[in-house]
Amino acid sequence: MDLDALGSCLATPACVVTQTTSGLIVGMLLFLVAAGVTLIFGVLKIVNFAHGTFYMLGGYVAYTALGVTDSYTLAVLSGTLAMALFGALFERTLISRFYGANVLMQLLICYAVVLIFDDVVKIVWGPEFHAMGMPPAFQVPPFFIAGGVVPPFYAVLIGIAALIAIVLGLGLSLTRFGKTVRAAAINPQMVSTLGVNTTVLFATVFAIGGGLAGLAGALAAPVRSLSPGMGFSILIESFIVTVIGGMGSVAGALVSALLIGMVRGFGTIGFPKFTDGLIYIVMIAILILRPQGLFGRRS
Amino acid sequence: MKGHTAWRDVAISAVALIAVLAIPLLHRSPAFEDFIIRLSAMALFASSLNLLVGNAGMVSFGHGMFYGLGAYTFALTMQLTNVSLPVAAVLAVAATTFAALCVGAICVRLSTDYFAFITLAVQMLFYSVIISWQTLTGGDQGLRGGIPRREIFGFELTSQLHLYQFCAVVAVLGLLALRHISASPFGQTLRMIRDNEDRASFLGIVLWRARLWAFTIAGGFAGLGGVLAALFVSGAYPELADWPNSGQAIFAVMLGGVNSFLGPVLGAAILLALNDVVTRFTEYYGLVLGIVILVFAVGLRRGVLDFVRSAWPGGAR
């Protein structure tokens, strides 16, 4: 524990800006993954333990696409679309067999998929770490805010994630599709009776969730290195985010992802060895004081 | 549960124990003995989890915490003090049981999904404490330096044969105790809560108290499994308390069958055997295990032993 370092960091604007930026990066990536988890849980009542796999595969697909097309934009798009397709496929072939089944059975299926694709990645891309490298467009000098370094790519990444948050929020509350999704979250039988094809709806929700995770993986690839099993830690964190924010709440996922991001950003200075522990303490405290999460409805 | 089934259980475990103990007298196979030692730790771990999952319907994702705590408490007691092995083991189980009581007091009132997440969070908190408290636990390197294996009752646990016998006896006695608990009125109460908690509540059962008992007992037995694991690896490692280890136990339970007492033991045996066989042929253990799990889950839709018992008309109760 190093409270002096934390205090002196909070006193210098440069350090605050740097740590806030890195906290925002963590938080925004986490939000993209957790938004999918919470959306899928909200509508399908499935806790998707394979969500980290989408994130990992999104990163790897983007890595390969970058090598082929030499365009980072296309790489991100292909990572996102590939995972949206994969999500729909996963829902249709496996998850749909286990609706209403034992939670543990769903967990088992998801874990099997995690195990399989961790090894598939090892076979296709090799067990070693891959670095995607910063796209050339962003290899420019960073700008400074109050003396703190902010790489341009970070700003773009945060911007894209914020845009997604807005689109997702408005889309769910205003569009016809968003309203159908929210209705299906409350009563899927009724929605089905009213003539909505819930089979397509469920697959679409899974595709959106998978696509968001793939997008997060593709966006994270230049910042973090790619490795098999990289989906694992983000999976745990996105669950923490989902639980803190309230299962099924996209707004909650945004707030708690940013909260976790900030705890990470500043925790690494104050409690370098116990940052994870700090996050678990936050989660336990929330679960005891407000089990339904910050934005969750009491069921 | 009637008296004669209790005697039947004792008879079955006696026969099993005698058979296991007799094998090394006929044929020594270090690989097999290794397997049984690991299985005894894992079987206790998985079966104790099934007291929660199968009987009480409480899905705990954080059961590895108690396995790890048992291993660390035992190994540390042996390293830091001069107490004999059984005393250290009892101490470790007592400490784990108490820890389970404390954790349970926080967790058991939450509903299913949240219970799963909070147990996971508490376990991960414990894991981070192990990692960051380097002076005591050795951090991510694990607790090394070995466990002084003092002789007990003429048993020398440095000999693999004696360790094998010790683990087999402890595991069979532990499983028998768990079986007794799950067959007792208390076990019946847990199953009633699982099936219909409102009805159980109307009948005057205090739900959280029964669940807390189950959680505490399960934690204690997981700690006993941890003691055996610590003996086998001659130390303790943070991986024992990490969440993939809790996952292993859940898969053992699911693979074997939640509704059969011996299901988790069979599941643990399948997982361990699969690990041993597959790693000999390929480095892609996860790929093979994943496919096996998928085949079982999609094909059988339940654990192996549950499936066998339902397919066998006379066998299912």
B258 interfaces chain A, CB cutoff of 8 Å: yes
Q: What is the pLDDT of residues B60-116, one digit of tens each?
A: 989 999 999 999 999 999 888 888 888 899 999 999 999 999 999 988 888 877 888
Angular region, B57: left φ>0, alpha ψ -120 to 50, beta rest: left
Judged against a pLDDT cut of 70, whether residue B3 lies above it is answered with no
Name the β-bridge partners of A226.
A130
Chain B nearest-CA residue for A113: B290
**For the CA atoms of chain B, what is the radius of gyration?**
19
Q: Of A223, A218, A217, which Cα lies nearest the Cα of A155? A: A223
Q: What is the pLDDT of residues B179-227, one digit of tens each?
A: 999 999 999 999 999 999 899 999 999 999 999 999 999 999 999 999 9
Decide if A113 contacts A50 (C-beta within 8 A).
yes
Q: Which of A38-47, A272-281, B119-128 has the least mean pLDDT?
A: A272-281
Q: Of B229, B248, B191, which Cα lies nearest the Cα of B63? A: B248
Decide if A236 contacts B124 (C-beta within 8 A).
yes
Structure tokens at A130: 């891959």
Closest CA–CA distance from residue A110 to any residue of chain B (Å) = 9
Closest CA–CA distance from residue B309 to any residue of chain A (Å) = 19
For B176-241, give the DSSP string: HHHHHHHHSHHHHHHHHHHH-HHHHHHTT--HHHHHHHHHHHHHHHHHHHHHHHHHHHTSB-GGGG
B44 interfaces chain A, CB cutoff of 8 Å: no
Amino acid at residue number B21: L
Q: What is the pLDDT of residues A27-82, one digit of tens each?
A: 999 999 999 999 998 888 888 889 999 999 999 999 999 989 888 999 999 999 99
How high is the pLDDT of residue A32? 94
Name the β-bridge partners of A143.
A150
For residues B126-131, average pLDDT = 90
Quote the CA–CA distance of A32 and A39 in Å, as a whole number: 11
User: How big is the CA angle at A126 (ends A121 and A132), to the nearest 5 degrees?
Assistant: 85
Decide if A209 contacts A87 (C-beta within 8 A).
yes
Contact A277 B128 (CB under 8 A): yes
Handedness of CA B137, B138, B143, B144 (dihedral sign): negative
Q: Which residues of B touch A109 (CB under 8 A)?
A: 293-294, 297-298
* Secondary structure (H, E, C), A62-76: HHHHHHHHCCHHHHH
Closest CA–CA distance from residue A239 to any residue of chain B (Å) = 8
Neighbours of A92 (CB within 10 A): 14
Q: Of B34, B96, B46, which Cα lies nearest the Cα of B71? A: B96
- Alpha carbon dihedral A234, A297, B250, B134, in 10-degree steps, equals 50
In the structure, what pLDDT confidence band is assigned to residue B316 with cuts at 50, 70 and 90? very low
Give me the interface pTM, i.e. the ipTM.
0.81
3-state secondary structure of A60: helix
Quote the CA–CA distance of A91 and A51 in Å, as a whole number: 12
Instruction: Write down the domain spans for chain B.
Output: 3-243
B252 interfaces chain A, CB cutoff of 8 Å: no
Neighbours of A155 (CB within 10 A): 17
Structure tokens at B199: 């009805």
Q: Which residues of B touch A123 (CB under 8 A)?
A: 284, 287
Judged against a pLDDT cut of 50, whether residue A281 lies above it is answered with yes
Decide if A58 contacts A213 (C-beta within 8 A).
yes
Contact B114 A291 (CB under 8 A): yes
How high is the pLDDT of residue A8? 83
Q: Which phi and psi angles does B23 have, rounded to 5°?
A: -55, -50
User: How big is the CA angle at A210 (ends B296 and A26), to the nearest 5 degrees?
Assistant: 115
Selected residues 230-259 of chain A with any CB under 8 Å from a CB in chain B: 236, 239-240, 243, 247
In the structure, what pLDDT confidence band is assigned to residue B154 with cuts at 50, 70 and 90? low
Judged against a pLDDT cut of 50, whether residue B297 lies above it is answered with yes
Decide if A258 contacts A21 (C-beta within 8 A).
no
In the structure, what pLDDT confidence band is assigned to residue B156 with cuts at 50, 70 and 90? low
Task: Output B301 or B293, whichever has higher pLDDT.
Answer: B293
Spell out the residues 6+ positions from residue A268 whose beta carbon is closer than 8 angstroms to its own.
A19, A275
